[in-house]
């Protein structure tokens, strides 16, 4: 494993993955869809080029509530691992909490803050966006 290689996986260890290089971006997502899929009030992702990512053990299950999107998760323990969408071709989004070293990538901003839960107060000084673009609040 090289210094720019990160590994991660699900809670039970049945599904593992590896990613190389730096992410294209990293963000805390507050949208309802991500919250429900992961079961948490905020989900933190990093986006990588799909060619830099590979599942290395096990085969994840895929859930596609919306055509053109995929959420990969462990069929044994249920851990949500990644997200893909036709909106971002050539990218895969990794849930940072599933990395063996989740502090290896630092979030750069908050997205979909218009859907943020009222009882969440994150005073980290990061930029906030109502969507995933550059429309900062």
Q: Report domain extents, the chain.
A: 5-115
| Mean model confidence pLDDT for the chain | 93
Structure confidence by residue, pLDDT tens digits, 43-59: 999 999 999 999 999 99
Contact 108, 25 (CB under 8 A): yes
The closest alpha carbon to 84, from 49, 109, 32, 125, belongs to: 49
According to CATH, what is the number of the domain 5-115? 2.170.150.70
Structure confidence by residue, pLDDT tens digits, 119-136: 999 999 999 999 875 443
Beta-strand runs (E) in 50-106: 53-57, 61-63, 69-73, 80-85, 91-95
pTM of the model: 0.90
């Amino acid at each position: 494993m090289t210094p720019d290689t990160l590994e991660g996986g699900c809670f039970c260890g049945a599904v593992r993955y590896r990613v190389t290089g730096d992410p294209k971006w990293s963000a805390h997502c507050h949208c309802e869809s991500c919250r429900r899929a992961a079961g948490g009030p905020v989900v933190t992702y990093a986006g990588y080029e799909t060619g830099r990512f590979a599942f290395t053990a096990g085969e994840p299950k895929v859930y596609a509530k919306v055509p053109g999107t995929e959420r990969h998760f462990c069929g044994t323990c249920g851990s949500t691992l990644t997200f893909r969408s036709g909106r971002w071709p050539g990218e895969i989004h990794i849930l940072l909490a599933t990395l063996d070293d989740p502090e290896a990538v630092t979030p750069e901003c908050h997205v979909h803050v218009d859907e943020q839960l009222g009882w969440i107060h994150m005073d980290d000084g990061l930029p906030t966006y109502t969507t995933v673009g550059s429309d900062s609040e």
